[in-house]
């Protein structure tokens, strides 16, 4: 085989990496080996730019049962149960074929969960698109939303939460991050670590086709539209449902030693990772792999990413019992190989050996790169811009944009308005575990049947913050996701993250990646929340433009008593408080971008000690029954948060923001729409004002009484008065238009 630059480009390897392979093997690789190295040494599988940086995350904690390094992370939730969680990207496939790209992203993340022996109980999605006034972005948006709903609804797993953001930086490269949470018994948790020489290697589920070949390398190159258009996988959710039930049943037998999803890099990654984690070898015969297309080569079989397939390691004496389970679910399987004791991944095509490589060369000896990092001077200049130079809002009867006009425009913004046109396409209540679903609270709340406790889940990331200051973008992503979980009354106990960035080979790209990880790590330590799983998606670029840095964070929380939770809707008569700092900033705000057309200024600074204290105070107040509504203030600032809680509760309110106005130098725009961290709106039940105030004083957190809910209009003294119907109409029309 003649290895040309074109051949190396096809497998996303550099000439230096190819020479390293030759040196390690002591010979030229075969074609199959070259393809396997290309997949396993890709950024998607090998994490060659991010692996050193990921070590900065805190990954241990009293509840951590399984940290990074397995199919998913797991944390103890009590009563002998664990919650299993993971988030992953399917960005590049979704840019090419949005429906199948998103659908197979859901399928892949669900398999990561039930492979661990956990029953999936919740799906979330974090989505990023370009502006919807562009036809192609509308096509991507509708395709992705359709794919998520079409696959998840068929599986019978509820889609309960997520987040969506629109920005021109995603026009060429949308982001589709899918998260899944499952529940398992702690003593039944399964790992993907092959063991026991002589144990059988089974390939279960769909037949293998040519879809998805080079999917892992495709996810590790720039400009997906110009490369490997044919690699997008095609999903079958009904087959996945059968596979899920069969695998969960098989895992309850004593015969399954290990289980691994065939995701990125297909049969290559599943065999390599099982062997490497277990410190053993695996020998397979691709001639025994059932195929749905004629003439497939060993190279294609090893790199196919056909969906709904699982690698299962089974003890020979248990084969008949496992076979009966798969037969019951009408699932085909092939015995394709055995576990060995030589540490080699050996691939045969009948009698011919087409690949024979020590497993560690694919994993432990993948090259690792540390690049030069430098901030873009253009972005540094934007961050340094004095955003308070923009004109303040006009008086109610003055010229210019009035507070009421600004509020209505913000509520109608796609980044703030109702997600109902999206969420109503998803089944959020199937399995009957959903206590708080979409649009009801800052995070979803799920009961854990048979117990008194519950779980809360949410994803978050403000890419505008990450663009202007990657460090603060990382800090805020963790803090806001944890704050959302705290606002429903749950204690954050675990983080899973999806790091979406451009090319790390560019100094500005590597700078963004390193600084965001530093910010996330600092926030996780300050809030006491370990990172237990995650995914890295780099090279998200179109042409010469990279996406805004988007470190998506999913947080899992635990409620000691699932009945003690809070939604975001105000009720009549209850006093409303702002807990946290009064000061805010226009830097990186939705207001500045929407009203003044500027993405500039520094994002809000964040006192992590105060953030932790505010979240503790909020959680304990909800647990004590002192709160009927809680809502964090994020995009759009204080006035938008108040309006959202009024809309959610179907009630108006009268509020006085004079102290907030004074704290912000008399600027109406900053007081109403400036953004800040560590801020939460709390509402006491009618008659509960004194008790909530005493609780907040005891927790030594700043708070300010703002007013009370009631009536059919939102009135902010001296600034605006808007009928609730007008607020609701603007908010509901944001995506419906």
Query: What distance in Å separates the CA atoms of residue 544 and residue 664, rounded to the nearest whole number?
Result: 39
Lowest mean pLDDT among 160-169, 208-217, 594-603: 208-217
The 10 Å Cβ neighbour count of residue 55 is 11
Cβ atoms of residues 84 and 184 within 8 Å: yes
Of 251, 214, 241, 219, nearest in space to 308 by CA:
241
pLDDT in tens, 110-149: 999 999 999 999 999 999 999 999 999 999 999 999 999 9
Q: What is the pLDDT of residue 218?
A: 46
Cβ atoms of residues 458 and 484 within 8 Å: yes
The pLDDT mean for the chain works out to 95
Q: Which residues pair with 721 in a beta bridge?
A: 715
With left for phi above 0 and alpha for psi between -120 and 50, is residue 52 left, alpha or beta? alpha
Q: What is the pLDDT of residue 530?
A: 98
Catalytic residue among 44, 49, 255, 695: 44
Specify the DSSP element, H or E, that contains 274. Answer: helix 266-278
Cβ atoms of residues 315 and 257 within 8 Å: yes
Domains 1-41+191-366 and 406-417+566-737 agree in fold: yes
Q: What is the pLDDT of residue 227?
A: 47
- SS3 sequence of 401-416: CCHHHHHHHHHCCCCC
Report, at the CATH architecture level, how domain 406-417+566-737 is classified: Alpha-Beta Complex (3.90)
User: Pick the residue with more confidence: 172 or 355?
Assistant: 355
Q: What is the pLDDT of residue 398?
A: 63
Q: Which residues pair with 536 in a beta bridge?
A: 499
Cβ atoms of residues 262 and 333 within 8 Å: no
Query: What distance in Å separates the CA atoms of residue 342 and residue 361, rounded to the nearest whole number?
Result: 14
pLDDT of 220 higher than 80: no
Q: What is the pLDDT of residue 400?
A: 87
Q: What is the pLDDT of residue 228?
A: 46
pLDDT of 3 higher than 60: yes
Cβ atoms of residues 45 and 265 within 8 Å: yes
pLDDT of 713 higher than 70: yes
> Angle, nearest 10°, between helix axes 135-155 and 237-251?
40
What is the layout of strands, in order, in the sheet containing 550-559?
A: 434-436, 444-447, 454-460, 550-559, 491-500, 531-537
Q: Which two tokens stand for residue 403?
A: 């507070």
Sign of CA dihedral 519, 522, 526, 532: positive
pLDDT of 43 higher than 70: yes
Mean pLDDT of 488-502: 98
Q: At 231, is the pLDDT very low, low, confident or very high (cuts 50, 70, 90)?
A: low
User: Pick the residue with more confidence: 386 or 399?
Assistant: 386
The pTM (predicted TM-score) of the whole model is 0.96
Of 7, 17, 51, 127, nearest in space to 504 by CA:
51
Residue with tokens 């540490």: 343
316-346 b/e with 16+ CB inside 10 Å = b? eebeeebeebbeebebebbbbbbbbeebbbb
For the question of residue 90 being annotated catalytic, the response is: yes
For the question of residue 255 being annotated catalytic, the response is: no
Cβ atoms of residues 32 and 354 within 8 Å: yes
Q: At 216, is the pLDDT very low, low, confident or very high (cuts 50, 70, 90)?
A: low
pLDDT in tens, 648-689: 999 999 999 999 999 999 999 999 999 999 999 999 999 999
pLDDT in tens, 351-382: 999 999 999 999 999 999 999 999 999 999 99
Cβ atoms of residues 627 and 684 within 8 Å: yes
What is the layout of strands, in order, in the sheet containing 713-716?
A: 629-632, 680-683, 575-579, 703-709, 653-655, 713-716, 720-723
Q: What is the pLDDT of residue 458?
A: 98
The CATH number corresponding to 1-41+191-366 among 3.40.50.2000, 3.30.360.30, 3.90.650.10, 3.40.190.10 equals 3.90.650.10
pLDDT in tens, 287-303: 999 999 999 999 999 99
Q: At 6, is the pLDDT very low, low, confident or very high (cuts 50, 70, 90)?
A: confident
Q: Which two tokens stand for residue 298?
A: 């060993």
Q: What is the pLDDT of residue 381?
A: 98
554-583 b/e with 16+ CB inside 10 Å = b? bbbbbbeebebbbbbbbbebbbbbbbbbbb
**SS3 state of residue 712:** coil
- SS3 sequence of 129-192: ECCCCCHHHHHHHHHHHHHHHHHHHHHCCCEEEEEEEECHHHCCCCEEEEEEEEEEEHHHCCCC
**SS3 state of residue 256:** strand
Cβ atoms of residues 519 and 471 within 8 Å: yes
Q: At 172, is the pLDDT very low, low, confident or very high (cuts 50, 70, 90)?
A: confident
Q: At 236, is the pLDDT very low, low, confident or very high (cuts 50, 70, 90)?
A: very high
**For residue 698, what are the contacts with CB-CB under 8 A and spacing of at least 6?**
none
Of 239, 207, 223, nearest in space to 104 by CA:
239
Q: At 229, is the pLDDT very low, low, confident or very high (cuts 50, 70, 90)?
A: very low
With left for phi above 0 and alpha for psi between -120 and 50, is residue 162 left, alpha or beta? left
pLDDT in tens, 304-327: 999 999 999 999 999 999 999 999
Catalytic residue among 49, 90, 228, 631: 90
User: Pick the residue with more confidence: 175 or 543?
Assistant: 175
**For residue 517, what are the contacts with CB-CB under 8 A and spacing of at least 6?**
53, 54, 56, 57, 474, 499, 551
Q: What is the CA radius of gyration of the chain?
A: 26
Query: Judging by beta carbons within 10 Å of its beta carbon (0-12, 13-18, 19+), is residue 128 exposed, middle or buried?
Result: buried
Q: At 624, is the pLDDT very low, low, confident or very high (cuts 50, 70, 90)?
A: very high
Q: What is the pLDDT of residue 200?
A: 98
Cβ atoms of residues 206 and 305 within 8 Å: no
pLDDT in tens, 50-69: 999 999 999 999 999 999 99
Q: What is the pLDDT of residue 221?
A: 53
Percent of residues, the chain, with pLDDT higher than 90: 92
Cβ atoms of residues 574 and 671 within 8 Å: no
Q: What is the pLDDT of residue 396?
A: 65
- Ranges of beta strands (E only) in 646-718 are 653-655, 680-683, 703-709, 713-716
What is the residue extent of each domain of the chain? 1-41+191-366, 406-417+566-737
480-514 b/e with 16+ CB inside 10 Å = b? bbbbbbbbbbbbbbbbbbbbbbbbbebebbbbbbb
Cβ atoms of residues 258 and 310 within 8 Å: no
Cβ atoms of residues 473 and 466 within 8 Å: yes
């Amino acid at each position: 085989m003649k290895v040309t630059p074109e051949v190396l480009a096809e497998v996303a390897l550099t000439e230096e990496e190819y020479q390293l392979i030759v040196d390690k093997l002591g010979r030229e690789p075969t074609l199959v080996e070259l393809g396997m190295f290309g997949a396993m040494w890709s950024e998607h599988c090998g994490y060659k730019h991010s692996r050193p940086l990921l070590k900065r995350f805190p990954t241990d904690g009293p509840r951590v049962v399984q940290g990074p390094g397995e199919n998913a992370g797991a944390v103890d939730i009590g009563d002998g149960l664990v919650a299993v969680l993971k988030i992953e990207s399917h960005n590049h496939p979704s840019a090419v074929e949005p429906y199948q790209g998103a659908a197979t992203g859901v399928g892949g993340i669900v398999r990561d969960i039930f492979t661990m022996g956990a029953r999936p109980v919740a799906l979330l999605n974090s989505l990023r698109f370009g502006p919807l006034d562009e036809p192609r972005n509308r096509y991507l948006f509708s395709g992705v939303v359709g794919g998520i709903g079409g696959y998840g609804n068929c599986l019978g797993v509820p889609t309960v939460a997520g987040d969506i953001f629109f920005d021109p930086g995603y026009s060429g490269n949308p982001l589709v991050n899918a998260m899944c949470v499952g529940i398992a018994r702690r003593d039944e948790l399964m790992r993907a670590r092959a063991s026991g020489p002589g144990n059988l290697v089974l390939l279960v589920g769909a037949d293998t086709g040519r879809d998805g070949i080079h999917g892992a390398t495709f996810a590790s190159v720039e400009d997906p539209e110009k490369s490997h258009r044919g690699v997008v996988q095609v999903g079958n959710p009904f087959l996945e449902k059968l596979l899920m039930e069969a695998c969960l049943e098989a895992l309850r037998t004593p015969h399954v030693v290990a289980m691994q999803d065939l995701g990125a890099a297909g049969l290559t990654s599943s065999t390599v990772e099982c062997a490497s984690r277990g410190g053993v070898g695996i020998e397979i015969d691709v001639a025994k792999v059932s195929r749905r297309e004629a003439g497939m080569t060993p190279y294609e079989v090893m790199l196919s990413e056909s969906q709904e397939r699982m690698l299962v390691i089974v003890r020979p004496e248990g084969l008949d019992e496992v076979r009966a389970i798969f037969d019951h679910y009408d699932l085909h399987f092939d015995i394709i190989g055995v576990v060995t004791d030589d540490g080699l991944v050996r691939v045969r095509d009948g009698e011919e050996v087409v690949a024979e490589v020590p497993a560690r060369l694919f994993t432990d000896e993948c090259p690792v790169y540390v690049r030069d990092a430098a901030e873009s001077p253009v972005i540094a200049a934007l961050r340094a811009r004095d955003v308070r130079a923009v004109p303040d809002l006009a008086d109610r009867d003055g010229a210019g944009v009035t507070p009421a006009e600004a509020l209505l425009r913000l509520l109608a913004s796609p980044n703030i308005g109702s997600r109902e046109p999206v969420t109503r396409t998803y089944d959020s209540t199937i399995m009957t575990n959903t206590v708080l679903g979409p649009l009801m609270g800052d995070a979803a709340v799920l009961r854990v049947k048979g117990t008194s406790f519950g779980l809360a889940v949410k994803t978050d990331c403000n890419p505008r913050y990450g663009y202007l200051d990657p460090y603060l973008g990382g800090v805020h992503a963790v803090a806001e996701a944890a704050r959302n979980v705290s606002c429903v009354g749950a204690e954050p106990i675990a983080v899973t993250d999806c790091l979406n960035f451009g090319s790390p080979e560019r100094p500005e790209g590597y700078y963004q990646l390193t600084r965001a990880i530093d910010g996330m790590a600092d926030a996780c330590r300050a809030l006491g929340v370990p990172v237990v799983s995650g995914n890295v998606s780099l090279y998200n670029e179109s042409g010469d433009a990279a996406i805004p840095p988007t470190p998506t964070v999913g947080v899992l929380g635990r409620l000691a008593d699932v009945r003690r939770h809070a939604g975001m809707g105000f009720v009549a008569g209850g006093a409303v408080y702002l807990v946290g700092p009064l000061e805010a900033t226009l830097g990186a705000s939705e207001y500045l971008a929407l009203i003044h057309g500027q993405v500039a200024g520094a994002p809000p600074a964040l006192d992590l000690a105060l953030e932790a204290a505010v979240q503790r105070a909020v959680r304990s107040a909800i647990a004590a029954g002192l709160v009927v509504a809680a809502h964090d203030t994020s995009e759009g600032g204080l006035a938008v948060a108040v309006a959202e809680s009024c809309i959610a509760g179907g009630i108006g309110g009268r509020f006085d923001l004079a102290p907030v106005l004074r704290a912000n130098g008399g600027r109406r725009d900053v007081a109403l729409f400036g953004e800040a961290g560590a801020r939460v709106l709390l509402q006491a039940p009618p008659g509960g004002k004194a008790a909530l105030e005493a609780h907040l004083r005891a927790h030594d957190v700043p708070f300010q009484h703002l007013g009370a809910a009631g009536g059919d209009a939102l009135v902010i003294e001296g600034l605006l008065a808007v009928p609730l119907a007008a607020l609701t109409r603007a908010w509901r029309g944001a995506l419906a238009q």
